[in-house]
Amino acid sequence: MKLKRIGVDLAKQVFQVHGVDSHEQVVCRKQIKRARLLDFFRQLEPCLVVMEACGGSHYWARQFRALGHEVRLIAPQFVKPYVKGGKNDANDAEAICEAGSKSGRQLAAWLGLVPNQHSSGGKERLGSISKRGDTYLRTLLIHGARSALNASAKKTDPRSIWINEVKSRRNTNIATVALANKNARIIWALLSKGESYHNAAC
């Protein structure tokens, strides 16, 4: 089985795993007893293993690394925003897997800078932003975007032109959130790739 990333919900006896391939398609979702967990990972090609950071996670991280896997431990508060539906082992493992995926889009979603979706009868309706994740960081991004928006009216750089067009089509609040979302993605790209910021490329 070839996996790109697998989330593991740790437990005392029965572990839940959730794995995706290089196309982010779910290819593994199962429960595994403790005694068989290492055998399961021994049969996998090296991949990214994601777990919530806790006392037992460090032991399992050493075991998985010894088998050639890359391991990433994530604080529980960073996993919570990804949980879908009710809390159970399967949903927790899926959330852990998604939380370990480090994309700009998902960072923006984690920060709550995306609209709630309400779909019915084939029609998609977008509501206010979800306001998930870190409230303080989201607030800083919103305030920063609002200041940039206020100063963008007479500017001609690509980002200012883009945000002024959004503002003319929608409204100031939506344009502010759109810019905060874009800035979050830029921050992720800079931090994850070690690149310098170039305004003309935005």
Is residue 112 located within the same domain as residue 92? no
CATH at 40: 3.30.420.10
Sign of the dihedral defined by the CA atoms of residues 182, 25, 7, 77, in that order:
positive
pTM of the predicted structure, to 2 decimals? 0.58
Per DSSP bridges, beta strands 48-52 and 5-9 are: parallel
Is residue 57 located within the same domain as residue 138? no
Write out pLDDT tens, residues 56-90.
999 999 999 999 999 988 878 768 767 877 778 99
Is residue 57 located within the same domain as residue 132? no
Q: How far is CA 67 from the centre of its chain?
A: 26
Is residue 43 located within the same domain as residue 92? yes
Is residue 59 located within the same domain as residue 86? yes
Domain count, the chain: 2
Is residue 21 located within the same domain as residue 96? yes
pLDDT at 195: 66
pLDDT at 117 over 80: no
Is residue 24 located within the same domain as residue 39? yes
> Which of these ranges, 71-75, 88-92, 99-103, 161-165, has the smallest mean pLDDT?
99-103
Is residue 142 located within the same domain as residue 87? no
pLDDT at 135: 81
Is residue 97 located within the same domain as residue 112? no
Sign of the dihedral defined by the CA atoms of residues 152, 154, 155, 161, in that order:
positive
Is residue 133 located within the same domain as residue 84? no
Is residue 97 located within the same domain as residue 132? no
* Mean pLDDT of all residues in 107-132: 57
- Containing structural domain, residue 137: 107-116+125-201
Write out pLDDT tens, residues 122-158.
444 444 555 666 788 888 999 999 999 999 988 888 8
